[in-house]
Structure 1
Amino acid sequence: MSSFPPAVPLNDGGHGHEYGPRMDAVRRPTPEEVAEIEERFVALIEGRLSRDEADRWAARRTAAEGLDWDDTSWWALNPLHGVDLPAGPDGRYLHDEEQLRTWLTELRHRRRTG
């Protein structure tokens, strides 16, 4: 079962063949969807998820129509979407492992106090 809103025809000049998400179906993410953000950070730090996979997952979540993310979730999705950015040609990443752990700690702090 998909957590995305159902597709409806777009205004495509009367051709009737293009579809997209319902714009009127805005909803808050489920607790499971919110928890999944932290799970992605943990999997990334533990090496169970690649930086490319984390980036692509976060890109889909930030672009998902119809989801009204809370401020903390939005804050956490943004660094995940870009976590695979290279620092240069030497193979290092712009954000190192320490930065990932700092973001995870900050996310947990914001969840507890927010």
Structure 2
Amino acid sequence: MRSVPDRDSVRERLLALLSGRMSREEVADWANPWVTADDPSIEDSVVWEALKELAGADLKVSPSAYLHGEDDFHAWLDAIETANASE
């Protein structure tokens, strides 16, 4: 498995998602191996929560509508930035 994601790598994926440089599917594909691993070795709870959210970025509620939208992506980014600012 690749190196363990940190807050910066999660933040970069969120920014790429919001800017359109990465699709929902690409971001979910990046996060999913960590979320589904038997032992992901992620000790930072902020990173873990963000990975779980990102793994579902491409979930749909219908053939043409996604479960999560831009407001969700901004909220996930805010959670990372707030955690970084409080340390």
TM > 0.5: yes
Per-residue CA deviations over 1:51-94 (Å, capped at 9, x if unaligned) read 111111001233274623311110111100111001213x1210
CA distance in 1, matches of 2:65, 2:31: 21
CA distance in 1, matches of 2:31, 2:43: 12
CA distance in 1, matches of 2:32, 2:81: 21
Q: CA RMSD in A?
A: 1.9
Counterparts of 1:32-43 in structure 2 under 5 Å? 33-34=5-6, 35-43=8-16
TM-score of the pair, normalised by structure 1: 0.65
Structure 2 counterpart of 1:53: 26
1:95 to 58, 68, 72: 68
User: Could you say if the C-alpha distance between residues 66 and 44 of structure 1 is closer, same or farther in structure 2, counting changes exceeding 3 Å?
Assistant: closer
* 1:57 counterpart letter in structure 2: W
Structure 2 residues without counterparts, runs of 5 or longer = none
Identity, in percent, stands at: 32
CA distance in 1, matches of 2:70, 2:25: 15
* 2:65 counterpart letter in structure 1: R
1:83 to 36, 41, 57: 57
User: Could you say if the C-alpha distance between residues 95 and 3 of structure 1 is closer, same or farther in structure 2, counting changes exceeding 3 Å?
Assistant: closer
CA distance in 1, matches of 2:67, 2:46: 22
Matched, 1:69 2:43: yes
Per the TM alignment, residue 43 of structure 1 is displaced from its structure 2 partner at its CA by: 0.2
Q: What number of residue pairs does the alignment pair up?
A: 85
Matched, 1:108 2:78: no
TM-score of the pair, normalised by structure 2: 0.83
